Structure 1
Amino acid sequence: MYPANFDGMPDGKDPPIRVLLAEDDFLIRLDFADSLRSQGFEVVEVSSADEGMELLKFHVSFNLVITDLNMPGRTDGVGLAKFVRNLTTKTGIVLVSSEPRPSEPELFDLVLRKPVWDLGARIKHLIGKAGYGD
């Protein structure tokens, strides 16, 4: 993994898009992370919104946050999205949940309903349209 302030590759290529993946179900998180990595994303996995917020508190930066809605801990995916939005508007936020609709959908750039197949390809399409890797 690159340091949080890394801004370029030694060969002049752009660094990979860094994704924070917050999902409490281990098997789903494993599937999502593998799918994202197969598309060239750098993925940091956490099992709760609380863990994701701890990383963000220490200024670890991400181009994109992908979160489940309901997770164990003090906060959920909506709380994580609010925390990210308070830090920056440049980070894209994707909700992937079995819930039909989040309480505050305006926090999310994309809402996907589980089950989601080939998440990496869907996210790569979003990145291309929105430019979160820029």
Structure 2
Amino acid sequence: MPRRSEPELIHARICTLLQRGVQGVARRQGALVIGTLRLHPQERSVTWRGSAVELPTTEMRVLEVLMRFAGETLSREELSQRVRGRTLDPDDRSIDVAVSKLRSKFFDPAYGAKKIKTVWGKGYTLNPGAWQN
């Protein structure tokens, strides 16, 4: 098999990194990282653009689940099951409230609410491309 030239190797590495970024979350020393958003589950800490962001437990867990499944749509019920370990009561709006608060804390005029999208009739998805700056 012929060896690849240096530009071909660099191109292959860039393609691999871009593919990882689109597919999900990078894991660095136990942290979940998407662009400028970093969550350390064990330390219960979140930084965005290098600044610490204080989150209550429910918001932290919702963000962690959305980051682990970045780019995938998760229903309110699935989020509740993964965050709280129980099914969602039909009148329970806690997941919606947590998502709303996360959107306000991570608001960026360039992206608006596109960082965490509502997929009508399906649920929520975290858009990994919107966290790059």
- The TM-score, its normalising length taken from structure 2, stands at 0.27
Give the number of the structure whose residues are more often helix, by fraction.
2
Q: What's the TM-score, normalizing by structure 1?
A: 0.26
Larger Rg: 2
